[in-house]
């Protein structure tokens, strides 16, 4: 299963996410600290969304869960 954006969203990843979590939210990060945000447009996948944001964004309809498992290969007749 994958997460897909239905609306444009922005979120931190990696070191930026660690910094935001350390301070309990972006508005609490000391001014002057650069916190790069990743942007995903509607229709794009966002599998690396912070876990704490997934339920809220699903509830708001900003993201959706999609089944992107690969389809089974079509059957072919041998010896034809």
Partner 1 sequence: MAGKFGGGSVWFLVDGYDVLTAKAKQLALKVTSKTEATAGLGDTWDAHTPIGRSMVTLTQGGAYFDTTATTGLHAGFSGSVPSSAQASTRVICVGFGGNTIGAPFFGMEGAFSSEYEVLAEQDGLTKANVGYSITGQRDQGAIVQELEAKTSDWNTKTGGEQLDSSTVPQRVYAITSNSQANPTVVTCASPHGLTTGDAVLISGVSGSSPDINGEQTVTVIDTTTFSVAVNTSAGTGGTGGSFVKITTQNGAVGYQQVTAFSGFSGFIGKIQDSADDVSYADLVTFADVTSGPDAERVEVSGQVDRYLSFDGNVTGTGSITVLAGLCRL
Residue 20 interacting with partner 1 (CB under 8 A) = yes
- Residue choice 2, 8, 14, 43 for contact with partner 1 (CB under 8 A): 8
- Residue choice 1, 22, 32, 71 for contact with partner 1 (CB under 8 A): 32
Whole-number Å distance between alpha carbons of 49 and 44: 12
Could you list the residues that contact partner 1 (CB under 8 A)? 7-12, 17, 20-21, 25-37, 39, 49-50, 52-53, 56-57, 60, 62
């Amino acid at each position: 299963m994958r997460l897909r954006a239905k609306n444009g969203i922005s979120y931190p990843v990696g070191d930026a996410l660690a910094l935001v979590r350390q301070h309990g939210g972006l508005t609490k990060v000391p001014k002057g600290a650069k916190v790069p945000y990743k942007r995903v447009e509607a229709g794009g996948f966002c599998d690396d969304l912070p876990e704490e944001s997934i339920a809220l964004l699903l509830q708001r309809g900003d993201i959706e869960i999609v089944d992107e498992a690969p389809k089974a290969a079509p059957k072919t007749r041998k010896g034809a």
